[in-house]
Amino acid sequence: MTYRYDYLVIGSGIAGMSFALKVASEKHRVAIICKTTLEEANTALAQGGVASVTDLLVDDFDKHIADTMVAGDHLSDPAAVEKVVKGAPAQIKQLVEWGVNFDKRPDGTFDLHREGGHSEFRILHHADNTGFEIQESLIAKVRENPYIDIFEHHFAIEIITQHHLGKIVTRRTPDITCYGAYILDTESGSVDKFLAKVTLMATGGTGAVYTTTTNPLVATGDGIAMVYRAKGTVKDMEFIQFHPTALYHPGDRPSFLITEAMRGYGAVLRDLQGREFMHKYDPRLSLAPRDIVARAIDTEMKLAGSDHVYLDVTHKDPEETRRHFPNIYAKCLSLGIDITKDYIPVAPAAHYLCGGIKVDLNGESSIKRLYAVGECSCTGLHGGNRLASNSLIEAVVYADAAARHASAEISGISLRDDVPDWNDEGTRHPEEMVLITQSIKEVNQIMSAYVGIVRSNLRLDRAWNRLDILYEETERLFKCSKASREICELRNIINVAYLVMRQAKERKESRGLHYTLDYPPVARKD
Task: Tell me the β-bridge partners of 457.
Answer: none
Whether the link from the prior residue into 254 is cis, omega within 30° of 0, is yes
Q: How do strand 377-378 and strand 356-358 relate by DSSP bridges?
A: parallel
Q: How do strand 370-372 and strand 191-201 relate by DSSP bridges?
A: parallel
From CA 22, how far away is CA 504, in angstroms rounded? 37
- Output the CA angle 210-335-257, nearest 5 degrees: 45
8-state DSSP, 57:
T
Q: Which residues are catalytic?
A: 290
Q: What is the DSSP track for 406-452?
A: HHHHGGG------PPPP-------TTHHHHHHHHHHHHHHHHHHHSS
- Judge contact between 388 and 48, C-beta under 8 A: yes
Coil, helix or strand for 295?
Answer: helix
- Judge contact between 297 and 349, C-beta under 8 A: no
From CA 285, how far away is CA 135, in angstroms rounded? 37
From CA 420, how far away is CA 166, in angstroms rounded? 10
From CA 351, how far away is CA 48, in angstroms rounded? 13
From CA 447, how far away is CA 271, in angstroms rounded? 23
8-state DSSP, 146:
T
**Among 349, 409, 389, 502, CA closest to 178:** 409
From CA 31, how far away is CA 461, in angstroms rounded? 42
Residue 408: in which H helix or E strand, if any?
Answer: helix 391-409
From CA 255, how far away is CA 347, in angstroms rounded? 9
Who contacts 146 (Cβ-Cβ below 8 Å, separation ≥6)?
none
